Chains A and B, each alone.
Chain A
Amino acid sequence: MTRKVVITGLGATTPIGGDVPTMWTNALKGVSGAKTLEDDWVAKYELPVHFAARCSTPALEVLSRVEAKRMDPSTQFGVIAAREAWADSGITDVDHDRLAVAFATGIGGVWTLLDAWDTLKEKGPRRVLPMTVPMLMPNGVAAAVSLDLGARAGAHTPVSACASGTEALHLGLDLIRSGKADVVMCGGAEAAIHPMPLAAFSSMQALSRRNDDPEGASRPYDMGRDGFVMGEGAGALVLEAEEHALARGARIYGELAGTSVTSDSYHITAPDPEGLGATRALKAAMFDGRIQAEDVVHVNAHATSTPVGDKPEYTALRAALGTHVDNVAVSATKSQMGHLLGASGAVEAVLTVLAVYERKAPLTINLENQDPEIPLDVVTSSRELPAGDIVALSNSFGFGGHNAVIAVRSI
């Protein structure tokens, strides 16, 4: 008998809210977290993109100065989200040898790495700080969260570009089902609003250039979409074996019923145009959770707002759900907070869990002229999800051909 895994704690720091209650209120209202960047490096390096979606609450308003100094900004966001999720779970007593961490990032400590490189060039090797390596390593966030919680059953960092956050939940589910842990702090964190990644994503034509209208720039499924908007932040979820949660009388948000990861093996960045890898991921997550297409009422789509990315996901959803896809309320929440890269899957998982728990779907903004080749039922105004047993899916796809899907079932 497979161990049932439930979600008992949620945390987030995002461009539309520095904690879960604020993010959720805004996600139902429909706001944009994108703003013009005021940094002098935008003009200095003549960046073609002048805006991004920064976290609405700076990390230094939450962490102490000394704490923050030892963490890359991505780790700062991860620790903030993990602390909120841990407090939200209400866990006061845990066997630390049975507590694991699966905390992802797409890029990791890029600020630390590039700051240290600047220091080396300008001031020489002596000035490169001794904390540089532990701050820039991609596992820095999982390590910091593990230290913070006293998690000793392993601290893992799945890295699969923009699928990383979702893959962390896939790993977390496995750790509990296989008996390696009873509780797993899962999540994803990213802080890459730095001129170099902005230049690099721009040069591959991935970012929107709607510089005169940052709030209208992230527009998944819209005919006017021209790329994604760089976001930053973190999401965190406490996964717990059901019997562990029941034994302590925990508040249970929902069941992490199934997950999956597949790889396209098609192209290093382009999605398989027929969405075959994504289709296999959707079907595998549904099989894993013993889910029928008719059970699914809501999808938090990957939908980044790129011209080429949004359509194959629709093709995959239709292939996996059949004609039932027409009855599914689809939310593209990157329209509001931009693309949090390796954190996006974790933040969207938080939104998906809340959608199932609160029976409300978050909004998609900026959809004015829906692409006729993507005839999904996109949630653009307040939408209640049905009563009874329901399932919601969340998709994430990453450069490298990574596809990850989670399925959340109501309790």
Chain B
Amino acid sequence: MASNEEILAGLAEIVNEETGLATEAVELDKSFTEDLDIDSISMMTIVVNAEEKFGVRIPDEEVKNLKTVGDAVSFISNAQA
């Protein structure tokens, strides 16, 4: 079980790996598309890497609801519970 801080840090590493964005730029209120400029292919890569890292399953139909980094952190946290 990871805390929300740990999930955010892990997600930030995944985003950095995929896009080169600084990990500090990955904040809870940031929108993946609007603020972080992440396209759909990168988003799917991030989702798949997050599934492996956190041992959860993020269904394809759920991905469109993950608008902000915070949405993803909450989803992963709930899925782990």
Contacts and interface: CB of A to CB of B under 8 A. Distances in A.
A127 B19 contact: no
B51 A126 contact: yes
A66 B22 CA distance: 12
A65 B20 CA distance: 8
B44 interface: yes
Contacts of A69: 17-18
A126 B48 contact: yes
B18 A66 contact: yes
A228 B48 CA distance: 41
Contacts of A134: 41
A130 B20 contact: no
B45 interface: yes
A64 B19 CA distance: 11
B24 interface: no
Contact of A131 (B17, B20, B45, B52): B45
A130 B45 contact: yes
A87 interface: no
A129 interface: yes
Q: How large is the interface on A (under 10, 10 to 19, 20 to 34, 35 or more residues)?
A: 10 to 19
Interface core residue of A64, A130, A131 (most chain B CB under 10 Å): A130
A72 to B, nearest CB: 15
Interface in A102-152: 126-127, 129-131, 134
Contacts of B52: 127
Contact residues of B: prevailing secondary structure: helix
Interface residues of B, number: 10
A127 B51 CA distance: 9
Given A130-B41, A131-B41, A66 B48 contact: no
Nearest to A127: B48
Contacts of B17: 69
Contacts of A126: 48, 51
Contacts of A131: 41, 45
A129 B51 contact: no
A66 B17 CA distance: 7
A64 B41 contact: no
B18 to A, nearest CB: 7
A131 B44 CA distance: 9
Interface in B46-75: 48, 51-52
A64 B45 contact: no
Contacts of A130: 41, 44-45, 48
B41 A66 contact: no
B16 to A, nearest CB: 9
A69 B46 CA distance: 13
B37 to A, nearest CB: 12
A285 to B, nearest CB: 42
Contacts of A127: 48, 52
Nearest to A66: B20
Given A69-B17, A130-B41, A131-B41, 13 more contacts: A64-B20, A65-B20, A66-B18, A66-B19, A66-B20, A69-B18, A127-B48, A127-B52, A129-B45, A129-B48, A130-B45, A130-B48, A131-B45
Interface of B: 17-20, 41, 44-45, 48, 51-52
The 8 closest A-B pairs by CB, nearest first: A66-B20, A130-B44, A130-B41, A129-B45, A130-B45, A131-B41, A66-B19, A126-B48
10 contacts: A66-B19, A69-B18, A126-B48, A126-B51, A127-B52, A129-B45, A129-B48, A130-B41, A130-B44, A134-B41
